[in-house]
Structure formats: structure tokens, C-alpha cells
Structure 1
Amino acid sequence: MGDRALSRRGFLAASAAAGLGMTALSACGGDSDGGSSDGKTTIEWWNISTTEPTKTVWAGLAKKFEAQNPKVKVKIVQMENDAYKSKMTALTASGKLPDIFHTWGGGVLQQQVDAGLVEDLTDRTKPWADGMLSVAKQAYILGDKTYGIPFDIGMIGFWYNKALFKQAGITAPPTTWSGFLDTVKKLKAKNITPIALAGKEKWPGMYYWAYLAMRTAGIDALKKANDDKDFTAPGLVQAGQHLQDLVKLQPFQKGFLGAAYSTPTGQAATMGNGKAAMELMGQWAPVVEADSGKGLGSDLGFFPFPAVEGGKGAITEVFGGGGGHALRKGAPQAAVDFLKFFASEATDLVLVKKTNTLPVVPGAEKGLSDPNTKAVQAQLKAATGFQLYLDQAYAPAVGQEVNDSVAALISGSKSPEQVTQSISKTAKEEQ
């Protein structure tokens, strides 16, 4: 779903495109009961589903909820990913959040909870939230309290073009990092661009460093580094060295440093139009590839991030997350009712069938038909470890520094050692 897509600096343009006048922003959250003069309760729902088909499907679900709850009006506010993150950071600082808002959980949600801005949903959602997929709920449970309800779960992995692999004589996806580098070399030898990357937006590059850190140092090393405010362990430096080895092969499309994720000339379109053989992206990738470009149909395949020889991590440890919704403190009951509606089997089936999300309600698994979505779900169900996106798992400033430092390594302005030093410095300043 353009799930994590966009340029922070594009906030003003994105907010204008989303029709956000200052009134909508300043009235965010409204009065405490969300009431209005016509006796209707208006709830604002902020989300990042700006690409099709999700945008239309979600608007339809809001209308269905309104039909079932005639006294409630759902006002949808949509922004692309980076603009949304920037706006939410500003709103968190101002102490006013929307009634219902997109969250990835983790350290960012924790910061909002610590500021006293988020509704505790533990008791109000227990009767129906208990039946949801356990791994999908973890990022929103802080302490022993529930602050968010998932609507999606997934993992990052490599999406690849089977036709281009065949053209380069590659018979199977690589399972080791050295095999992956060989794959890149074989594609280059046939004048095929190996990898599409949105260098302008820093989070897609972060995925490489995060996975390499998991594979080299092990999944626990990332948690320990954050706890100790020290990211300079040898395995984390080596992760940067492995990424540097890839960058030296010049694997990315021409102009990648200026490329966004979901624009007509961006990463997803480059992949969807058959101009690159691979992209490292989440379970939403096929939908955005088809929305931004042509889409690859049956030529699209999926494989997990390779193992690093001699590393402490396993190929069955996955990196990713999902999407969820949280409520501002004091949000009206209608907002809780909307979360319940969104987490129902009927709604989840619509999301699974029409937007290719992975089910968070077990009964909705029957809606899965796409072989790649099934492959991602199989990987996820067999996972022996799960690491949330680093720019969500860590405190916001630390997550941003991970993204910035890794982007600097990819562009050649930071060494692997400097990456770990910069992140450590920011983590210590956040204490």
C-alpha cells in the first residue's frame, strides 16, 4: 500500500494534494466527544493509503461503516508515508493527535503513549482482539497494555523478475549473500539493472543494513545495541561492509539517488515496468508496482533475504512489520467501534482479496489466492524471529539517524564505522 512511501520534504505538496487546509489540521481531534450541531459524531481517520486499489477500498469501507452507524461520519485524511511521519511528529509535539491514526507501533507509538496522547485499548478491545494473529499484535502491546489494533502484517524480502533472471542464466534465487552478489554480477553482465532503489527516500536503503545486521550480528544484537545505546559492535560494522560490497558493484538504476518510491519514475515503477530485476520491499510491493508501473504478473517472484556466511543470524529470521490503528486519548466510542469493524473477518476478507494484505484475522486466510502473497505468509508463519522496522522500533530520532546514516553509506559519504558511530551518538543523546 504505498505502505511506507514518500519524501519528507514533500509534506506541503502532499498535504495540499490531500486537501488539508489549516482548518483540518488545527481541528485535528476535534472536541472531546466528536459531536456536531447535526447530532452526528465525526471521527477523523488519518492513514497513508494513497495508492490504488487501497485508497478506493478503504473509502468504501468507511462508507459501509457509516451506513451501519448512521450517527457517525468518518472524515478521511490521507498522506504519503514520509509526509505523514513528519506531520505526526509535529502533532505529537503539539499534544493533539487525530481520533484514529495509522501506527507501526514500537518506539514511535511508545513516545506518543509516554506523552499521554494515546488511548489504552486493552479492556475496550479484548473481547474481539484476542482472536487476532498474535505476531500481528506484538508491535502495539507496550508493557502489558494494548495501544493499537493491526490491520496488516508482513515482512520485507526480495521481489524479482523471473524473466530477467532467466535472461541472465540465473536458475534459482540466491540463498547466501555471496550468491546474491554473484546474481548481481550476472545481471550486470547482461546489461540488466539488478536492483531498483528509491535513494531519495531513505527508508528503502535502511532495509539492506537492517537485514545484513540481523544476518551478521544476529537479531538480538539490534535490541542490545538499542538498549546499550551503542551500535559499534563488530557485527554491526560488518553489516555496513557487506552493504558497501554491494554498492561497489553499482547495482542500482541510473539516477537512483533522486528516485522516490511510488512516483511514475520511482523504485516501484522501475520494477513494475521490467526495468530492474529486483527490489527489497514489503508485502505491499506487487500492488504498488502495478499502481506505479505496469506490474509483472506471473513473472514476479519472491525470496527471503539471503543468509550471510559465518553470520549469527538465520534466514528464517524476518524483518518487517505491519500497519495498525491507534486512537487519541479521549477519542469517542465511535472510533473504538470503527476499529472493531475494521478488525472483523468480513472487513479483513475484503482487504485480503482486494488489496493483497496478509490476514490478521485467522478466518480471513481463505481469501488468499495470489501465489506470492501465499509465499510471504508461509515465510512469516515459519519465522523463528521477528524484527520490527528499525525506524519504528527505535525512538524516532534514532530511527531517523539509522535511515540517514545508511543513506550516506549508500551514497558514499559515510564509512561502515561512521554509520554505527552516528547512530550510537544519537541514541546516547536521546537518553
Structure 2
Amino acid sequence: MTSVTRRQLLVGATALIFATAAAGCSTPSTTGGDSAGGSEITFLTFETPNLTPAYWDAAIKRVTDKYPDVKVRKLVSPTADGRTDYAKQLLQSGQFPDVMVGLSPAGFAESGNLYAWSEGELQDFTFPTANPIRGKYYQLPANTQTIPPIYYNTKVFADRGITAPPKDWAGLLEVCEKLKAAGVTPFVTGGGKDAFASSMLLTGIVSVDVYGKTPDWLSKRRAGTVKFSDPDFTAALAKFADLAQRGYIQKSDVSRDYAATEQAFLDGKGAMYPMGNWFAASADAKQRNDIGVFNFPSADGRTVVPAYTGGGMVVSAKAKNLDAAKRFALAFQLDKAQLDSSVKADGLIPAVKGYTPPADAGPVFKAGYELYQQAVADKAVVHGFRWESADDGLLPGMAAKVDAVAQDLTTGRKTPAAAAAYLDAEWAKAGS
């Protein structure tokens, strides 16, 4: 999964876009037909410290071994969280990929550029009706991600006399103050070209405080019955800004990209790390035994777990080889080896009927998985703010505005009231 200041690529000559794509693409070793046989498809991926070129190549090969008539040309987004913007550039230049993974379908679907999956094609997924766009389903609901739990260094906590993770917001502030007094930075956050890392704490606060009371808040925002400048949302912005004002978040962190942010936490440059559950894969791959995880705390200690189900593949409605694209996408998302690999490589929780994680899944993943399963049982799961898509998600382009607001609140460039007004103004532009 994973998500980067939404880096804007210049919409210039087609040749420039193609050169960028070619520079970021590789063709995995596959068997199968050639383009003359009508079976070649293009597949847009992205890379992170977890999702390496080898990960994607192995996954592609498993599918093409099953369907040897399908030949795949892999494209790679220049930035991990900029893949939606990059897909827009490719669409505008007439090079829209046949299959894409992990991008927001909003905008693409409404304009008729994505294939709408049938009920029968979605029957193997746990939540087949996730993320509807005008009553149709364009993105395979392949996995669930909790966004964000809070990971913490158990040794740092123990060395400062903190015997257990906090249960509520007041407890979290007490932990932060104790850590700061001991010369330890409470939270590791990020930004730079991966701006989503700067808004993780804001995602947690809005999800727990706002969505915890009004689960369909963003649907109401789309309907125009609530605004970002309303008291509940502005209070969430103020709560986030307060963390920065207290020094629990470092202003300089907003210039650090995702990979460096993760490494900073692993190197002990802060005690807590609010991040999507994909981080568990990194922790387990490094065999860390000093990392714990707890749910994002609410004001009253009530369990509210932000999560997002979706993130799977979308297929171009205008793919030259549509049948091959559809077969590739479904086979990729339902392959047991691929699902197990996604657990280990990216900490994903597959939303496929009958699936159980591999027995050798790591301890950090298992701890987060158990927290999520308990939240499901308790009916305590809400959408993760900023990460939603489709009819109950942010308007196209607004995720980048949320990231910008998080950075401005961290550095003090905006007050909570100014940030709320900015979001309302940008929302109006996005909807016009």
C-alpha cells in the first residue's frame, strides 16, 4: 500500500510522458502470447520499501504462468502516492494502462474510463459492495488496511517507565509529555514527496472523533449538509495542531519522505509511529521484537478503528484486450500465494472469503490483525479519513489538500480555522 505531496507531472508533449513511463517500467519474465496474438496488456504498479520490483515481478509471473496467453508490460509510477495523478497524465496522453492497482477510481469511473465489475465477478470478495460509484463497482475490494494504528517502541516505553500503551486521548498526552520530558520525540511523522505521512495523525483524529460520532460524515459533506468549518471537524484540526504546538511532532519532519520516515522510527528517532498497517511487514521482515501496536485512542477510551477496504485493481473499459485484462486482475487478486505474499510484504488484510493469514505471519502483523478482528466483532470499524474512495470518499484532488493542511498545521503556517476554510474552498473548486 500503500500513500506524498501529490507530485504533479508536467502535461507536456506525449513523448515526454512516454519517456517518463519508460524510465520507470520493467518487463517481468513471463510466458504467454505476443501483442500480435491480442493478449498483451499494460499494468501500472507502484513501488515502496515493502513492494519492491521483485515482489511485483513474482506476482505477475504467477498469473501469467496460469494464463500463458497473457503478456504483461509493467509500468511503474514515479512516486508511490502519485500513481493516481500519473494515471491521469497517461490518460490525457492516450496511454491509459489496461490494469492499475491501488489508485482512486473517482473521476476515471464517472468519465467512462473504467470497467464496472459484475456481481458474479465479485462473488469471492468479503465486501463485494465496497466503494460504489453511482451504484457500480469499479475497483476490486481486495484487501483491508487499518489507517492508522499507532506503532510504538516497547523498549523506549519501558525505559521511561511507561508500562502499557495509552487507552484514551488523555493517556496519550500523558505518554507524550513523559517522553518529551525524557528527551524523546513522541511521534515520528513525515512528508516531503510522500506527503501522506504528514497527515496520518490527522487521519486518526478525524476518523475517531468525527466519524466515530457520524460515520457517514463525508457522504454528508458531499451532500453539502456539513462543512470542514463546522465545529466537530475544526475541533479535530485543532487537536492535531495542539500536538505540534506541544512539540510532540517535529516541524522538520514534514520534509522527510516515506522511506526515511519509516527508517527514522526503526532507528529510534521517535517513540511512536502512526502509519497504515502495511508498516507491520517492514517490522516483521526486520525481525524486530521491540515494536508493539495499539488502536488510535479516542477521548473516552471507546474503540474506534479506522480502516479502508478496497485498494485493488481497476481495469480500463477501453482496454484493447479487455478479457485478458479482467482475467489478469481477478487472478492476481485471488491467488492464494499472492494473498500470502501481500500479508508478508505489505501487511495487508486480504478481504477474500475463506482466507486466513499464513501461520508464519510475523508478530507485529498478527497483533494488528487481532486488533482489527476484534474491532470487526465489536462493530467498531469506521472509514479512514482521507483514504476513502468512491461515493463516500473525498472529491478528486482533495487528498493532496488534506496533506497540505496537515503540513501547515504542523509548521504553524495555518490556524485550525484557516485550515478548515481552505478545505471548504478547495472542496468547492473540486466540485465545480
Structure 1 residues 165 and 320, CA gap change in structure 2 (3 angstroms): farther
Q: Are the equivalent residues in 1 in contact too, given 2:251–2:411 (CA < 8 A)?
A: no
1:300 to 284, 291, 300: 291
**TM-score if structure 2 supplies the norm length?**
0.83
**TM-score if structure 1 supplies the norm length?**
0.83
Aligned residues: 399
Q: Aligned equivalents of 1:93 and 1:276: distance in 2?
A: 42
What secondary structure sits across from 2:355 in the alignment? helix
Structure 1 residues 353 and 408, CA gap change in structure 2 (3 angstroms): closer
2:358 to 357, 364, 367: 367
Q: Are the equivalent residues in 2 in contact too, given 1:162–1:299 (CA < 8 A)?
A: yes
Structure 1 residues 288 and 374, CA gap change in structure 2 (3 angstroms): closer
The one-letter code sitting in structure 2 at the alignment partner of 1:328 is: S
Q: Are the equivalent residues in 1 in contact too, given 2:309–2:351 (CA < 8 A)?
A: no
2:275 to 278, 281, 299: 281
Structure 1 residues 146 and 215, CA gap change in structure 2 (3 angstroms): closer
Q: Aligned equivalents of 2:106 and 2:118: distance in 1?
A: 15
What secondary structure sits across from 1:44 in the alignment? strand
1:60 to 58, 68, 80: 58
Task: Give the Å deviation of 1:350.
Answer: 3.4
* Structure 1 unaligned spans of 5+: 13-18, 28-34
Structure 1 residues 363 and 414, CA gap change in structure 2 (3 angstroms): same
Pairwise CA RMSD: 3.0
Task: Give the Å deviation of 1:183.
Answer: 0.8
Partner of 1:335: 325
- The answer on 1:173 being equivalent to 2:165 is yes
Q: Aligned equivalents of 1:296 and 1:187: distance in 2?
A: 25
Q: Aligned equivalents of 1:23 and 1:245: distance in 2?
A: 42
Task: Give the Å deviation of 1:417.
Answer: 0.8
Partner of 1:351: 342
Partner of 1:51: 49
Q: Aligned equivalents of 1:279 and 1:403: distance in 2?
A: 17
Partner of 2:106: 110
Partner of 1:153: 144
Structure 1 residues 10 and 272, CA gap change in structure 2 (3 angstroms): farther
Task: Give the Å deviation of 1:154.
Answer: 1.1
Q: Are the equivalent residues in 2 in contact too, given 1:271–1:289 (CA < 8 A)?
A: no
More helix by share: 1
Structure 1 residues 68 and 7, CA gap change in structure 2 (3 angstroms): same
Partner of 1:87: 86
Structure 1 residues 9 and 350, CA gap change in structure 2 (3 angstroms): closer
* Percent of aligned pairs with the same amino acid: 24
Q: Deviations over 1:247-303 (max 9, x none)?
A: 1121235731311111xxx21000112221111101111334678xxx461111111
Structure 1 residues 221 and 38, CA gap change in structure 2 (3 angstroms): closer
Q: Aligned equivalents of 2:166 and 2:308: distance in 1?
A: 20
Structure 1 residues 420 and 92, CA gap change in structure 2 (3 angstroms): farther
Task: Give the Å deviation of 1:373.
Answer: 1.8
- The answer on 1:121 being equivalent to 2:117 is yes
* Structure 2 unaligned spans of 5+: 11-16, 26-32
Q: Deviations over 1:20-57 (max 9, x none)?
A: 625749x9xxxxxxx95653621111112333465323
